[in-house]
Every structure is written in structure tokens, then in C-alpha cells.
Structure 1
Amino acid sequence: MEKNYWEGKEYSYFSHKNCEFFPCHKGADPEDFNCLFCYCPLYALGDKCGGNFHYNEKGFKDCTNCQLPHKRKNYGYVTGKYQELADLMKKVRENQDVKEK
């Protein structure tokens, strides 16, 4: 089986074991915990992020039980969603332009 281009590369994995919050999710494997996406770039995708989340009683997205961006194997999944994020930001800008006119 052929490896993905990013597998085994230093830029695709970072574990900050000296962080006061490490690991920041209950039940996470500290030996396979990627801190690279400490603040998840997929949060803005709402229910299309692919992670294990729920909306709390105030309507905020709660990602406490999600480890998707923190697993070494998911680097490609997270970076593969960047085009969706770019498209979302384009829509936001277009909506702002319409409102300003």
C-alpha cells in the first residue's frame, strides 16, 4: 500500500506534550495526538466538518468529543477540506459585498 505524500513528514504532525492541556480531549491516545490543528480549521464548516460534535443548548458547536483533527492519520482529511473553507469564505465575502451596496 502506497503512503500519502504527507505521511511520515514532520510538518504533518506535532505533539506538544508539555502543554498544560495535553491531551485536551478525554480518552485521547497521547502517543497519537496531533496538536497541529489545536484550533480546528474545520469548525467553520458547521455540520459538514465530519467530526463528532453536537450543538449545545445555546446553539454553539461543541467539539469536546471530537478527535478528528488530532489523529495523525487525519492530516490529509483536514487539509483536503481547505477548498470547502475557501468556498465558504468566498460566499461570506460575496454576501458582505451585497449588503454594502
Structure 2
Amino acid sequence: MDNSERFFCNKECRYFPCHKGVSEDEFNCLFCYCPLYSMGSDCGGDYVMKNGVKSCIGCIRPHIAANFDEINEALRKHKTVAIRSLESRAHDLVKSD
């Protein structure tokens, strides 16, 4: 696969490949640090909790090139939910004054 705005593979990275389960030719490094991490249990990935910390060592979701659109859609939805939550909190604060 060629590098583009939807796919980037850095085989020169000292951690490459950082996860097992994706072929080197299909391994997408574009989301090197998963943008869905902050969604907690709603990230849709395969994570485990270790000592109260979310570990994504077994998750390959952001490294599969075909998941690009799905991840971007999840980010759009998460952004909308976050904005609504902030608006609601702001409204509650204004009402309480």
C-alpha cells in the first residue's frame, strides 16, 4: 500500500511493528497513538485494564488501513457527544447562579 492521507507505514520506526496480527504491508501507522483511547470503554477496541490503566497492547483496530473511515466517524460522534455534554454543564452552571 502506498503512503497517503489515509495510510502511512513507518517501517523505519524502532517499534515497528508495535502490534501483532497485521501484515507489515498493511500495517497503518497513521494512528500511531490511538485517537480513540480517551473514549474509554466506548473505543470499540480490544483493550484490557491493568492496575487501573487501559492497555491496548492487544488492539490492532487503528492499525488496519480499512478502519480509517470508521475511526474518523467515531471521532466525529465522540466530538458531538463531548460538545453536548459541555453545553449541558454550562447550562446547568448558568442556571445555578
TM-score bracket for this pair, using the shorter chain length: 0.7 to 0.9
Structure 2 equivalent of residue 33 of structure 1: 27
Rounded to whole Å, the distance in 1 between the matches of 2:3 and 2:17 is 22
Q: CA deviation at 1:59?
A: 1.2
Rounded to whole Å, the distance in 2 between the matches of 1:37 and 1:48 is 17
Q: CA deviation at 1:53?
A: 0.7
Rounded to whole Å, the distance in 2 between the matches of 1:36 and 1:70 is 8
- Equivalence map 1:13-92=2 (5 Å): 13-56=7-50, 58-90=51-83, 91=85
TM (norm. structure 1) is: 0.76
Q: Quote the sequence identity (%).
A: 34
Give the superposed CA RMSD. Answer: 2.2
Number of aligned residues: 90
TM (norm. structure 2) is: 0.79
Could you tell me which runs of 5 or more consecutive residues in structure 1 were left unpaired when the two chains were aligned.
Answer: 1-7
Could you tell me which runs of 5 or more consecutive residues in structure 2 were left unpaired when the two chains were aligned.
Answer: none
